[in-house]
Structure 1
Amino acid sequence: MVALAFLIPLGLVVQQLARERAFADAERQTAVVVAVLTVTTDPLAIERAIASTGGPAVSRVSVHNLGEEGLEIGTGHAAAKDLAHAADQAAPVTATVEGGLSYLEPVDVGSGRTAVVEVFIPEDELSNGVSGAWWALTAVAVGLVIASVWVGDRLAAKVTASARQLAGAAGALSEGYLDVRLDPSGPRELAEASFALNVMADRIMALLTNERELVADLSHRLRTPLTALRLDAETLDDSQDADRIRDAIAALEVEIDKLIRAMREPIDAHSPTPDRGERSDGAAASTGEQGCDVAEVVRDRMMFWSAVAGDQERDCKAIGTESPAPVHVAKSELAAALDALIGNVIRYTPQGVPFEVAVTRRDDGYVVLRVEDGGPGIPDPELALQRGESGQGSTGLGLDIVRRVAVEGNGTVNIGTSATLGGASVVIVMADADPAPKEQPPQSRFGLVGRLSREPNERRRRGKAAS
């Protein structure tokens, strides 16, 4: 558009120059004849002056009202009224005639007489070279438009390619692919953003590596006091409490070993990193666990917690553990979630407060694990489910573990008030791993005919009942 804004005025200037050039030639021819007329009115001298102008334009020059007889020299084009009007003027005038313009200049030849010198200017002389100039300017304009479009397209493609590459890298990094790196390119702002993304990815890798090393080191430090506990447990007698303590220490050693092995594994930057809401390929994957029986897990863990409850004079019971209730959750994960819930009851409710654990296998394809107590309850369930948030001075991770297990089991977790014990009620809903097939309603042998025959009788019965 800028090019067109310059080229259109340039074309008009070319057109104006052609017109002025034609008038300049006419003035030059008129000046030769006027110079002769100021000296003599001899027709032969005038004709020789006209012939001296040269070129094909000689035939375009004519002289009118020459001498007393009003002689005419050459072929005129202007009308009589235009000639009369020019004779009355003190300066040259132009008149529009067929095929062009006539340049008329009056000349005082003495004795009160005025002759008029006419130079005919054809239309093609007025626009000589203008069409060629317009075509040339049009070609230049088209070339400039095409060049600007091509350059703009190349620049836009470069910018969009860099922006698309940056958006793709950011999306891959958000999904956990930590090996994403960019070659900074494009405009300065996009190049700086690409460089910043690379620095951020390197920083994330370093932070994750340091975090895993720290967790592994802290887990390894737990082995020393755990070994001491195991040695002390070996000195106990063969009572049921001693066996329970040894089993708990052995389970703790297994979990610490799993944690150390998982943290010592290098980070796979080519695969997505699991977030906090997903279970990583840690303990459950390493043991090959694919699911478990909720009732069995409750029976196993209640053997441990019932002894602890007995020491604190708490009434505890397990309900609904006689029938299997399979779910798609690893046994160790579900046991950890159940330990977290019962441990919260033991730690944060007064001694003697009862609790119960119930398992329900529903017909809608879900298994429900419910832990209830007779304590003060949970005042803010939403805050309690947030990771790291606790109003009891704990780490705030117990209920988050429960939430993650529920998500892993394609279910959810709800916190409310127990209808029987009056305290907190935590309900974990998980999808049934082996749901019973839904019963189909019996189909009538008579199909549509039978249904049509029954509908009038049913409507009559409903009418009688309403009345």
Structure 2
Amino acid sequence: MRRRISWLVVVTTSTVIVSFVIPLCLLVRTLAEDRAMAAADQDARSVAILAAGAPDDPRQLRAFVSGINRRGATTTRVLTTDGREVGGGPSMKQDPDVRRALRGEAFTVVDDRGGRVLLPVVVADGTTVVRSTVAVADLRRGVARAWTGIIGLGAVLLVLALVLASRLGKRISEPLLEVAGTAHRLREGDLAARAEVRGTQETQELARALNGLAERTGELLVSERAAVGDLSHRLRTPVTALRLDAEGVTDPELAQRLQAHITVLQRTIDAIVKEARRPVRTDLAPICDATATVRSRVDFWRALADDQDRDLRVLLPEGRLVVPLAVEDLTDLVDVLIDNVFAHTPEGTRLRLELHEVDHREPHVVLLVADAGPGFSAGGRQQREGSTGLGLDIARRIAAGCGGRVRTGTAPEGGALVEVVLPRAAG
């Protein structure tokens, strides 16, 4: 917008300046020509008066013409009735303009050879012709300097208009850019962001509308969280009652299955409660640096790995890998996968964790967790022996929430391999 305003002002100003500069330059040239021709006409008339008053005194006429030619920019010559030429220079007798003047016509000529004033003087014995000539350079004297000044003034006015337009565009565009920046912060999850109400009336109205939208969005998210949290708490009571009833079952095998199912249900409800209590600011378009988050969790688990004599090998990239997950979600995902290894493999089992980027059709971030333990069971739903599979379910749900996926298999070390593929986010 700022650039467009500047261009608009430049185009408008340049049009106005050109509309005045061109006629003014033409006027200056015309005035210069008129000034030079007026001087030539004055000299010619002075000589004509003398020629008419003293036609028989050629010396006086020659002296007067010489004096005029010395002091002025014009060249004056006289063709007398007896054919004598006063003033020097080429012969006047063959000049078409002189022949025209001999017929008694006084006139002025301006062409590419300069300007000429011809005056016939009728005396008793014939017609004397006076011709004053102005060179082309004298016709244009001072025009170039005047044009330079006029064009320079126009350029200065144009630059001044450009500076004023830039400042005006800045005053208009900066509040809009601030509103846009606030919108980006809201999109990234900072619901506390508010736009400053300033600028033009339209920009102020836009800022108020955006602030109102942010307030309403926060209210709706808080209301939704409260409803989900209340629902999850209401589920705790029947689950607790179900657990008590399961404890009263006499069949040990059935009781064990019921307790396992109730445990899964209880953990699912706990996850819902945890999700409901998450700060609202992490809900809108969350992103985080996967490299920094994974490195932080590895540092957290390394102490336990050293205590259990586990060989923890970590391969992380040097730069940032941004994924569309909140830091809390990625932290839970990494903790679940590492805890799965610690909980279901013997102490001393090697553990390898890698994070890298792949770029086939679209850029993705891949997190690999592999171990040298017993691996997954051979059943249709891959899970470790003695595990409920809840950890992998949590990882799958977190990955699927941002468009990712989780794949399991056998690691080169011989144990379990979990591969989490997450989309790469901008920024």
Category of TM-score, reference length = shorter chain: 0.5 to 0.7
The one of 114, 119, 126 aligned to 1:105? 119
- 2:251 maps to what in 1? 239
Alpha-carbon distance change, 53 to 282 in structure 1, aligned in 2, over 3 angstroms: closer
The one of 399, 408, 412 aligned to 1:431? 408
- 2:373 maps to what in 1? none
Aligned-residue RMSD, C-alpha = 5.1
Alpha-carbon distance change, 247 to 432 in structure 1, aligned in 2, over 3 angstroms: closer
* DSSP 3-state at the match of 2:279: coil
Q: CA deviation at 1:14?
A: 0.9
Structure 2 contact 186–284 (Cα < 8 Å) conserved:
no
* DSSP 3-state at the match of 2:94: helix
- The yes-or-no answer on 1:267 pairing with 2:280 is yes
Q: CA deviation at 1:79?
A: 2.6
Query: Counterparts of 2:388 and 2:259 in 1: how far apart (Å)?
Result: 23
Alpha-carbon distance change, 407 to 146 in structure 1, aligned in 2, over 3 angstroms: closer
- Structure 1 stretch displaced more, 54-63 or 127-136: 54-63
Query: Counterparts of 2:116 and 2:149 in 1: how far apart (Å)?
Result: 30
The one of 394, 400, 405 aligned to 1:404? 400
Alpha-carbon distance change, 434 to 181 in structure 1, aligned in 2, over 3 angstroms: farther
Query: Counterparts of 1:323 and 1:41 in 2: how far apart (Å)?
Result: 134
Alpha-carbon distance change, 188 to 432 in structure 1, aligned in 2, over 3 angstroms: farther
- Structure 1 stretch displaced more, 13-22 or 80-89: 80-89
- 1:218 maps to what in 2? 231
- 1:21 maps to what in 2? 35
Query: Counterparts of 1:90 and 1:211 in 2: how far apart (Å)?
Result: 105
- 1:252 maps to what in 2? 265
Query: Counterparts of 2:225 and 2:91 in 1: how far apart (Å)?
Result: 105
Matches within 5 A, 1:363-402: none
Structure with the greater alpha carbon radius of gyration: 1
Q: CA deviation at 1:259?
A: 2.5
The one of 125, 129, 132 aligned to 1:116? 129
Matches within 5 A, 1:320-335: 320-321=378-379, 331-332=389-390, 334=392
Query: Counterparts of 1:323 and 1:59 in 2: how far apart (Å)?
Result: 113
Alpha-carbon distance change, 6 to 253 in structure 1, aligned in 2, over 3 angstroms: same
- The yes-or-no answer on 1:143 pairing with 2:184 is no
Q: CA deviation at 1:269?
A: 5.4
Query: Counterparts of 1:29 and 1:322 in 2: how far apart (Å)?
Result: 120
Query: Counterparts of 1:70 and 1:283 in 2: how far apart (Å)?
Result: 115
Query: Counterparts of 2:225 and 2:30 in 1: how far apart (Å)?
Result: 83
Q: CA deviation at 1:164?
A: 6.3
- 2:100 maps to what in 1? 85
In structure 2, give the amino acid aligned to 1:102: R
Query: Counterparts of 1:223 and 1:59 in 2: how far apart (Å)?
Result: 115
- 1:133 maps to what in 2? 146
Q: CA deviation at 1:212?
A: 1.0
Q: CA deviation at 1:17?
A: 0.9
In structure 1, give the amino acid aligned to 2:80: N
* DSSP 3-state at the match of 1:81: coil
Structure 1 contact 77–102 (Cα < 8 Å) conserved:
no
The aligned length equals: 326
* DSSP 3-state at the match of 2:229: helix
Identity across aligned pairs (percent)?
A: 27
Alpha-carbon distance change, 278 to 126 in structure 1, aligned in 2, over 3 angstroms: closer
In structure 2, give the amino acid aligned to 1:238: T
Query: Counterparts of 1:109 and 1:9 in 2: how far apart (Å)?
Result: 45
Q: CA deviation at 1:194?
A: 5.5
Structure 1 contact 334–405 (Cα < 8 Å) conserved:
no
Q: What's the TM-score, normalizing by structure 2?
A: 0.57
Gaps of 5+ in 1: 297-318, 338-399, 412-429, 438-467
Alpha-carbon distance change, 135 to 106 in structure 1, aligned in 2, over 3 angstroms: same
Q: Deviations over 1:39-93 (max 9, x none)?
A: 6635388689879989923984443214xx4455545666322223321252324
- 2:318 maps to what in 1? none
Alpha-carbon distance change, 190 to 434 in structure 1, aligned in 2, over 3 angstroms: farther
Q: CA deviation at 1:129?
A: 1.6
